[in-house]
Amino acid sequence: MNERYEPRSIEPRWQSRWEQAGAFRAGRRERAEKRYVLEMFPYPSGAMHMGHARVYTIGDALARHLRMRGHDVLHPIGFDALGLPAENAAIKDGRHPGERTRENIVLFRAEMKRLGFSFDWEREIATCDPEYYRWNQWFFLKMLEKGVVYRRQGKANWCTGCQTVIANEQVVDDNRCERCESPVIEKIIPEWAFRITAYAQDLLDGLDQLRDWPERVTTMQRNWIGRSDGAEVDFDVPGRGPIRVFTTRVDTIHGCTYVVLAPEHPLVEKVAVPERRAEVRAFVERMKKADVLERTGEGAPKEGVFTGAHAVNPYTGEKVPVWIANFVLAEYGTGAVMSVPAHDQRDFEFAKKYGLPIRVVIQPAKGERLPSGDALAQAFTEDGVLEASGAFSGLPSAEARRKMSAHAEAKGFGKAEIRWHLRDWGFSRQRYWGTPIPIIYCEEHGAVPVPEKDLPVVLPERAVITGTGEPPLAKVPEFVNTTCPRCGKPARREVETMDTFVDSSWYYARYLSPKDDRRPFDPEAARRWLPVDTYVGGPEHAVMHLLYFRFWHRVMHQLGLVHEDEPCRRLVTQGIVNGPDGRKMSKRWGNVVTPGPMMDRYGADTLRLFILFAAPPEKDIDWSDEQVDGLFRFLGRVWRLFHARQDCFNARDLSARRAHGQPDEAAPAPQGAPDNERGFAAGTNLERAGGPGGAVPPGRNEDFLELRRRTHRTIKKCTEAFQGEMKFNTGIAALMELVNALYALEPRSDAERAAVREALVALAALLSPFAPHAAEELWHEVMGPAARERLLAEEPWPAFDPALVAADTVTIAVQVNGKLRGEVVAAVSAGEAEVRALAEADEKVKTHLAGKAVRKVVFVPRRLMNFVIG
RNA sequence: GGGCGGGUGGCGGAACUGGCAGACGCGCUGGACUUAGGAUCCAGUGCCGCAAGGCGUGAGGGUUCGAGUCCCUCCCCGCCCACCA
């Protein structure tokens, strides 16, 4: 055994042995329970960064652990390879996005392999592969048939200089184009969209099932879907027709003193009286040009203009003025609101500014009455009791809302209505590096879907990417010009491509049969492997990706491809890796640390340990050279420990004999079985060590019984680190404690050497999800020739012996009036009287109790005794 | 403004359903071994104090024999959403 710890020489060796053995291929244990561990696949721009190293290290530790627990584990990887950054880079240097992307994938793959991630590489996918995106196109066609895909008029950022649609990210300060700095305006253009709103209720209800998702993610999704229950009511403008408003507070409608339309509202032109039309138009034009944030941001001052028209409140018959204002959003509700200044803060501010009346119609259920409208300092927006509301006066708000909606429906001027914040998902992109949308435009037949047999519509290799003007595909005649599938006459292909969120919405299913050329994936494999058991990724995907992903799964369910509603049981959102200065890593700060050079210096195992030890997965961590040094030293310390205890390797087997020696064929323990049914045959060890009845061996051997206890407690602790919330940091800490304990002991007898050997074997096994290469090496050292053909990665996870985990004596804290004054060691089973006697014998406790009357004694078995004195 | 997280030594972080605050690591201090050590091993390390002891989990109050943990009031930090009628 090499005396020095040299990761450079050992890591590649184990990586190739794992690969040769196919140790990480899914589907090798058909009878075992499956586990699908997935990390969000990377967008391969440039080289790998620490964030990538972190996600995959977290997922890998879990996958390795689960494999050792006997599960059949699917742990795949692929590349989210289509997208804007590659295209933007191409605009700068003229290189083809595909060429660049493929190079980056090669770099990524190499670094991932160097980090020792236990991926099933045979299932690797890349979304830029036509064999992948053809199934995006296939889904498009299926969804078109089902009416889930449709064409609509959508809003887009239009650069007035480049004469093209640009992405949100490309709109920079002051609403200008990132590239040409021309103003960007909002333009209405036709686009393709997914009818995700049809699934709004279902997506909302599904959140209740997701108990193992972080609450903040489900809350964000809930808010994003944004169900609001309210009512629609028509305010009639005599001679011009009704203005339909949406409100969640129909109970306040008797306090409505004006109605407001969004500037884009279709009725604006119609209702404006001729003498005010010029002013109205000027306002609308100004709003159209204004920056979206500036216009509708919360800080923006409320601005509006009177149309001259009046509308009738159907509940009161009262005529109220109709205004147009910046704060009303065309795309929410009906684009028109009834304003109740006494009970809505925005309406209140607007009314104050323009001198509109304020009328109180809700009084707090308890407490002080509100003053009359003019004296009101701010809107009262809570529920209360109605007043001055005709027949509805005296009702509580909630009841009033129900009765008033019913009343509107009965009278035919409105009804209860649910509105959603969620919008349909517009997915057309005027880009090259994406999935071509499989549509052909024919003069006679309009938009004709490409027949399934003609898929994939392949992205032409020759691209004209300038970042300006028309979509790049429009400039490739051999792509554009085709014939109509219906009539065979000349026709043109759709030149738009799909949003790359499409790719990531179903990739987890493609891993199930990545080479399938008849369907997107094998439904039988889906029955085996889905849903994903644990999905690890950044919280920045809490809404968009994770909502699309849930939506797509539902569509696949309807297509009969999958068998459940939700794609993923447990979600883990990992924190970011900041620079050593605590700031986000960035070239600007010069604080960027990348995995490659760190592995050159310390090896993969140290890097992995650092990532897992620094904090629990959800928390942000700061890079720390000192901590990394410390973890490298820890591995060196483990290394030297094994070296120094070689004399224990051949110790007569006390413990480390396996319960079953054929890990590959081993079926996992039945669900709910105690841990000690697998792994080390710990149950019988106590007897072997101490003779019949597991009695404590005499003399200095007690230390070694303590060691054995510590070993088994460490196994327990590390096992728990993988259950529930992942607490790898405390698991690793427990391993450090075990190492420290081993350093303090010098075994002399065979029994002692056997106890040390047991600890070393367990240590190597427990270390292997975290630092797999070093663990593998050390495990083979201690196991000797018996293990020559085996791999620790495929061995069973150690089991602990509950009898050894439970201590037989405990330290009990002794308090006097709640302050710690001493501690006593007593048997676990010691009762109050026994502990009290011990406690009262303690010198320090004695002084504190001297001459005082004990009023009360609180005794918590195994923990503490508290004397309450007068 | 709303939602969700957080605030614990010099630093990263531990602490099960209220029960010995500070596990483990970093840093620091001392010692051993050494030609040497920025290697390694050992010991110490919350603060004040020579000690006895006192004080300590953002601030203030409360419940309790006992509060980092529960309740109330408030302050600060992070992320997400943000005029959603």
CA→C1' distance for A638 and B45 (Å) = 24
Which bases on strand B have an atom closer than 7 Å to a protein beta carbon?
A: 1-5, 12-16, 19-21, 23-27, 39-43, 53-54, 65-67, 79-85
Condensed to tens digits (0 to 9), the pLDDT of residues A94-145 reads 889 999 999 999 999 999 999 999 999 999 999 999 999 999 999 999 999 9
Condensed to tens digits (0 to 9), the pLDDT of residues A146-195 reads 999 999 887 777 777 766 677 666 666 666 776 677 777 777 788 899 99
Query: Among the ranges A205-214, A423-432, A761-770, which has the highest mean pLDDT value?
Result: A761-770
Which nucleotide lies nearest residue A613, CA to C1'? B25
Q: Which amino acid is at A555?
A: V
Q: Please, what's the b/e burial string for A401-413 (b: 16 or more CB within 10 A of its CB; e: otherwise)?
A: beebbebbeeeeb
Condensed to tens digits (0 to 9), the pLDDT of residues A579-594 reads 888 888 888 788 889 9
Do the Cβ atoms of A440 and A484 come closer than 8 Å? yes
Whole-prediction pTM value? Answer: 0.89
Q: What are phi and psi of A4, to 5 degrees?
A: -95, 145
The answer to whether A297 CB sits below 7 Å from nucleic acid chain B is: yes
Question: Is residue A688 pLDDT above 80, yes or no?
Answer: no
Q: Which amino acid is at A21?
A: A
Neighbours of A850 (CB within 10 A): 7
Q: What are phi and psi of A804, to 5 degrees?
A: -85, -25
Which nucleotide lies nearest residue A226, CA to C1'? B84
The reported pLDDT for the residue numbered A296 is 59
Mean of the pLDDT values across residues A541-559?
92
Do the Cβ atoms of A137 and A457 come closer than 8 Å? yes
CA→C1' distance for A583 and B45 (Å) = 29
- With residue A822 as reference, give the H or E element that holds it: strand A819-827
Closest CA to A641 of A769, A780, A739, A753: A739
Q: Which residues contact A578 (CB under 8 A, 6 or more apart)?
A: A584, A585, A591, A620, A621, A622, A623
Condensed to tens digits (0 to 9), the pLDDT of residues A631-669 reads 999 999 999 999 999 999 987 555 443 333 333 333 333
Do the Cβ atoms of A341 and A302 come closer than 8 Å? no
Per-residue CB contacts under 7 A with strand B, chain A residues 195-234: 215-216, 219-220, 223-224, 226, 228, 230
Per-residue CB contacts under 7 A with strand B, chain A residues 521-550: 539-540, 542-543
Question: Is residue A699 pLDDT above 70, yes or no?
Answer: no
Query: Among the ranges A287-291, A601-605, A670-674, which has the highest mean pLDDT value?
Result: A601-605
Q: A492 burial class (0-12, 13-18, 19+ CB within 10 angstroms)?
A: middle
CA→C1' distance for A360 and B53 (Å) = 65
**Tokens 């006459």 sit on residue:** A489
Cα–Cα dist A726/A490, whole Å: 59
Output the 3-class SS for A533-559.
EEEEECHHHCCHHHHHHHHHHHHHHHC
The reported pLDDT for the residue numbered A2 is 65
Condensed to tens digits (0 to 9), the pLDDT of residues A47-87 reads 899 999 999 999 999 999 999 999 999 999 999 999 888 88
Q: What are phi and psi of A783, to 5 degrees?
A: -80, -25
What is chain A's length?
870
Question: Is residue A675 pLDDT above 60, yes or no?
Answer: no
**Tokens 């059949």 sit on residue:** A72
The reported pLDDT for the residue numbered A517 is 94
The reported pLDDT for the residue numbered A396 is 92
Provide the sign of the torsion angle of the four alpha carbons A500, A502, A508, A509, taken in this order: negative
Closest CA to A607 of A631, A585, A591, A574: A631
